[in-house]
Amino acid sequence: MNESIRKHDASRPLMPHQQALIDQFFAEPAIRGYIVRWAVGLGKSYTVVHLIKRLLATQPAARILVLSPGALQSQMRDMLEQIGVSAEAVDRFRYRELQDAVSPHSELWWAGRVYLLSTDFAKQEDIALSLCSVQWTLLVVDEAQQLRAQRKGIVRALVASSPKLRALLLSSTGIDDPSQLGIEPWKETRTRAVDVVDAAGRRILDQPRPELKILEFHLDDSERRLRDSVDEIAQVLGVNDSNAGLPGPVFAALAASSPSALEAGLRRLRNRLAHGAYEFSQTAGEQGDMGDLSDAGEHTAVLPGDPGELLELLNRCLNELDALAVDSKLVALKTLLGQAQVPVPTPRPMCIVTSYRATLLYLQAALEELGITPWALYGAMSDDTRVQTVRGFAEHGGVLLATTAALKGLSMQQVDLLVMYDLPRNPSMVVPLLTRFQRVGRTDPLTLTVLLESKAERTVESALISKLQAFLADDQDSGVS
């Protein structure tokens, strides 16, 4: 079997710390809740799916509820299905169908089943009431550090309405005292990468260390002029990042990503203005790092400035963009691909990460021009296509183009070459992104290449690079070497 498939196979043996949690759970039935506080990459979800399988084997009538951010549902379902456990993702439409199918002799939430709901859907009043009308055996809360306000309320209500319910709260950063949720007694299982050994007794920190390369590129005169025009637009729109989500910084980031990302943003804003809508809201694709799969709602800001002046600037910028003959950043990437000898007879799995969907599609077209057919992973994909893409890449290797947000929850330890085409706008996004790649199961060293524009001042970029270097040098609290 292909090595990369083996790494993704959900039937691979559990590591000692993973097996220990499962054994502990079944050996201590009086413990109502566990905080599973493991560093990113140590296999919390992987352990939980095995625990669920064992629970259903020992208690076929167990009723299991998994609450997670919406974006992670399909991954959890896929992992469960890989080990032969069927799970049902329930959204509003599916919930109505379940309601419709209820007969006088049946319940809406069946015993012996695993239900996957987004935490934000579960907390809605009618759904919460319905969930609390049956007895649950196990509640799993993924990304439990996000439990706040009403999200906490649904967990509290479930714990109160199902006296025999046991809970697993998964988090890499820790959560508040679970007794506030009514979960007592509880235990915390905390695991750091430095403590973890694999099934053969080897420390996972003995994995190959990653290497950071910075690929600097210079903008030409026409690109600089375009940047100046974008800066003018940003000035009109408001450049203060903290100022109620004004779109100025968004356009600067789009321009830094790719001409396609900038064009998509400019056209959308121009269309809105042309139709009399003097407001701006970032689409999921423009939210960059947090976009695509984020559960955050859309933020709308009323546009400042004179719409006529703005329209003129947008048109001028679009014309300059149209005349742009060179993309120095893309040229740098193509040079890198040439050096990495992609494609090669035995492809070393490579992943190129961007913050924006428009950039991803642009890179896809550019790679196809080079004769490379990449895999593409972004938010607006059907669950099936997404799962097929992840599996296809794991099985066949090659080049994967992905948005930062679409990688959330995925294990990419088979990737040897990681290219950060865009640096995340938010430095705190760097480590979560890298832990997708630098995690348990890695056999070959990761080479990380960052594309960086050559310029005099780059405060933000320097902070990001420092984060990267610190992470790659030594991170004791994540699943990395």
Distance CA 283, CA 295 (A): 12
- DSSP letters, 51-107, are HHHHHHHH-TT--EEEEE-GGGHHHHHHHHHHTT--EEE--HHHHHHHHHH--TT--
Q: What track of x and - describes contact with another protein for positions 394 through 433 (by CB under 8 A)? A: ----------------------------------------
Stretch that binds another protein, among 146-154, 219-227, 255-263, 418-426 (CB under 8 A): 255-263
Q: What track of x and - describes contact with another protein for positions 207 through 226 (by CB under 8 A)? A: --------------------
Instruction: Kindly identify the residues of this chain, within the stretch 324-343, that bind another protein according to CB under 8 A.
Output: 324-325, 327, 330
Strand partners, 443: none
CA angle, residues 132, 383, 53, in degrees to nearest 5: 55
Per the document, the length of the chain is 481
Stretch that binds another protein, among 363-371, 406-414, 420-428, 442-450 (CB under 8 A): 363-371
Instruction: Kindly identify the residues of this chain, within the stretch 96-155, that bind another protein according to CB under 8 A.
Output: 96-97, 99-103, 110, 113, 124-126
Q: Which of 371, 327, 378 is nearest to 352 (CA)?
A: 378
Tokens of 126: 């009618």
Binding another protein (rule: CB under 8 A), the pick from 280, 362, 375, 393 is: 362
Distance CA 474, CA 268 (A): 43
Distance CA 392, CA 410 (A): 14
End-to-end Cα, the chain, rounded Å: 26
Name the minimum Å distance from CB 313 to another protein: 18
Name the minimum Å distance from CB 100 to another protein: 5
Binding another protein (rule: CB under 8 A), the pick from 122, 158, 366, 419 is: 366
Looking from the CA of 274 toward its CB, the CA atoms found within 13 Å total 9
Closer CB to another protein, 45 or 73, in the complex? 73
Contact between residue 13 and residue 43 where contact means Cβ atoms under 8 Å apart: no
Name the minimum Å distance from CB 439 to another protein: 29
Binding another protein (rule: CB under 8 A), the pick from 187, 381, 391, 427 is: 381
Can residue 260 be called a binding residue for another protein (CB under 8 A)? yes
Residues that bind another protein (CB under 8 A): 86, 88, 92-93, 96-97, 99-103, 110, 113, 124-126, 259-260, 263-264, 267-268, 271, 283-285, 321-322, 324-325, 327, 330, 358, 361-362, 364-366, 368-369, 380-382, 384-385
